[in-house]
Chain A
Amino acid sequence: MKTMKSVPPLITALFLASCVTGYTLVATGVNSIDTLQVDAGPGWNLAPTIAGSASRKNAQTWTQDGLLLNRLVFVPAVADGEALLNVKDGSAALPVFRKDMLPNEIEELAESTLLKTYGEGNAILNTSNLRPHNFGQHRGFMFDVEAKVTESPDYRGVAGAFIVDDKLYFMYFLAAHPHYYAKHRDAAEAIIKSATLATPAEKA
């Protein structure tokens, strides 16, 4: 009886502890996320995995003020046939990456995926301003994102992506509009634009 009573508070305590202590400060300068490398500015915090349970194993989520206010997400090395999120339930109908996708199709893949993170039907998400961008030596592209969400502020952001060796590297920033978007957009975009892949020597 005593053990039964102590289990729920223990779980709660562990959960709260993970929420409070799970965030770690991201070092300024070059950071590696799997084989992806980005140049981080100050003030970003790495969110614990528990905060984004649909995240892929090798993905990272950073935030300045909390995940509901702003998030910078890195999804490296998505292979052909894989989704941008780690959701096993087929009923979610998540779109998957195909290695022959062109920029417009990656943009659509991102739009449909991000929409589902808000809950299907709870948001309308639009992307625009698809434009080329070179990530280091890799040819890629960027686009803007705008989400209107039920009972929530609007979100705006920017995304970048490139494909190397048939794998997709995808990054996006989304923040509550107008304050948090305006506050962090330039810093977030600079980090996304800095993305490149580690050279074989760096990986070793």
Chain B
Amino acid sequence: MKLRRLTLLVAAALLASGATIAAEDEEVTHKIPPGYVPEEARDEQGLWLELKDAERSLNKSALLIRNNEVNAYINEIVCRVAGPYCNDLRVYVIRNPNFNAMMTATGMMQIWTGLIIRAGSTDEIAAVIGHEIAHYTRLHSLQRLRDIKKKMAAGVFFDIALIALAGVDAPVGQLTAQLSALAFNREQETEADLLGTKLLANASYDPHASYTVWENLIAEDEAAAAKREDPGMFGKTHPESKNRASYLKALVISRYGQPDQEKLADQKLLNVLNANYLMLMEDQLDTNRFGRTQDLLERHAEIGVDPSLVRYFYGEMFRQRGADGDRELAKAAYRHSIEGGNAPPGVYKNLGYLLLKDGDTAAARNNFRTYLELNPDASDRAMIEFYLEE
């Protein structure tokens, strides 16, 4: 019954039938109270035990961001969206340039840094967090565990039949069951979207962020040079971004009206981005995905990230892409970064290397000297001094 209701809901949303959406959406609510701990179901208790082990392991991860400013920023958003569930959640920010967020049945939430660099606003981060909290309070992980068990049982019967009838001894059924259960199902995703949007609005974040976050991802995907690239786990487990953006947009507009035209600077997000930009964008640059990087840089320039930093990474992106004309674009971007007054020392080094390629040795050396003056402990000092003395 519930599945049918949600299917109708999605269809209704796609048709932008605002009144129907509002009425149906009211029915998606939390399934567990704040402070929830499983007491009866053995499978759920077992799941919690395993996840606690996983959390201990995650706590030791070398990829965990331990920066207080980043963690404080994300935790504040989580608590504001989670409301009375705040104390049930533990947030881990993971250094990974792909877009993703995950939540377990025990309240262990992972936020990848790729989400932070892709957010057009704090509201968009809150939208993804609201979606994940909804998975938690709707017990979707437990449902998934039970679904896996059912499918595995069916898979075992299939594999036995395969041996008996065809003589093939391969765990095809079990593997298929495992693969099909990797993601939340469509119904669960839709529930998380609807409840997540409600949590977002209740926490006084902009509910329009629930679909703009997807629109940004779609734009980035369209800008990607390597079209078939792996979009990251969030992309795998959250399919059909265009449909999702579309029905969420219809839902939010019907309930909350049109979005504000005036965009205010999101100082908290900007503070986090500006303070950690070198680390965040160097990780992104290392993916060698220049179309995506360029799309992110355009967004960062638009929302007001320090122009010196954004221009530096434009320079890095053009220089490393190395297409026709990119060398000139890179040099211009580096010079703009310097003009901005807050260029990182690396700008002088990399401008110096490009000038060296141009044969302008004197200008290259001037930039190399500035680089070493600004960064006397540079680990590549020996290489730079080699070019200065050559």
Hey, which bits of chain A sit against chain B, CB under 8 A?
Answer: 1, 4-5, 8, 89-95, 98, 100, 102-105, 108, 111-112, 115-116, 120-121, 123-125, 128-132, 141, 143, 148-151, 154
Can you name 21 A-B pairs with beta carbons within 8 Å? Answer: A4-B167, A8-B170, A89-B228, A90-B228, A91-B229, A92-B226, A103-B383, A104-B353, A105-B353, A108-B320, A115-B286, A115-B287, A120-B230, A121-B97, A121-B114, A124-B283, A129-B379, A130-B383, A132-B382, A132-B383, A154-B62
A94 near B288 with CB under 8 A, answer yes
B40: CB under 8 A from chain A? no
Q: DSSP class of B's interface residues: helix, strand, loop or mixed? A: loop
Given A108-B320, A149-B62; A4-B357 close (CB under 8 Å)? no
- A35–chain B nearest beta-carbon distance, Å: 26
Report the tally of A-B residue pairs with Cβ distances under 8 A.
Answer: 90
Report yes or no: B320 in contact with A95, Cβ–Cβ below 8 A. yes
How long is the Cα–Cα vector from A98 to B322 in the complex, in angstroms? 9
Q: Which residue of chain B lies nearest to A114 when distances are taken between CB atoms in the complex? A: B286
Chain A at the B interface: mostly helix, strand, loop or mixed? mixed
The residue of chain B having its C-beta at the shortest distance from the C-beta of A100 within the complex is B357
Q: Closest residue of chain A to B282, judged by CB?
A: A126
Nearest CB on B from A6, distance (A): 10
Residues of B within 8 A of A (CB): 57, 61-63, 95-98, 112, 114, 166-170, 225-230, 232, 283, 286-289, 319-320, 322, 349-350, 353, 356-357, 379-380, 382-383, 386
> Shortest Cβ distance from B220 into chain A, in angstroms?
14
Which residues of B lie under 8 Å from residue A90 when comparing CB positions? 226, 228
With a cutoff of 8 Å between Cβ atoms, the chain A residues found around residue B98 in the complex are 120-121
**Do residues B350 and A150 form an inter-chain contact, with CB atoms below 8 A?**
no
Q: A131-B383, A150-B61 are in contact. Are A111 and B286 (CB under 8 A)?
A: yes
Q: Is the CB of A4 within 8 A of B353?
A: no
CA distance A168 to B226 in the complex (A): 25
Beyond A112-B287, A131-B382, A131-B383, 6 additional pairs, beta carbon < 8 A: A93-B225, A93-B229, A123-B63, A128-B379, A129-B380, A149-B62
| Assembled-state Cα–Cα distance A95/B286 (Å) | 9
Residues of A within 8 A of B349 (CB): 104
Contact B227 A91 (CB under 8 A): yes
A148 and B226 alpha carbons, distance in the complex (Å): 26
Q: Is the CB of A95 within 8 A of B227?
A: no
Determine whether the beta carbon of A102 is less than 8 Å from that of B356.
yes
Provide the bound-state CA to CA distance between A154 and B60, in Å: 12
Chain B residues, CB < 8 A from A94 = 288
Q: A163–B382 Cα gap in the complex (Å)?
A: 19
Q: Which residues of chain B are within 8 angstroms of A150 by Cβ–Cβ distance? A: 61-63
Which residues of B lie under 8 Å from residue A112 when comparing CB positions?
A: 286-288
Q: In the complex, what residues of A have CB within 8 A of residue B62's CB? A: 124, 148-150, 154
A residues less than 8 Å from B380 (CB atoms): 104, 128-131, 143
Verify B379–A130 contact, CB threshold 8 A.
yes
A116 vs B169: C-alpha distance when bound (angstroms): 34
**Residues of A contacting B283 in the complex (Cβ-Cβ under 8 angstroms):** 124
Residues of chain A lying within 8 A (CB to CB) of residue B167: 1, 4-5
Between A8, A93, A100, A108, the greatest number of chain B beta carbons within 10 A of the residue's beta carbon is seen for A93
**A-B residue pairs, 8 tightest by C-beta:** A148-B62, A130-B380, A91-B228, A131-B382, A128-B379, A91-B229, A130-B383, A121-B96
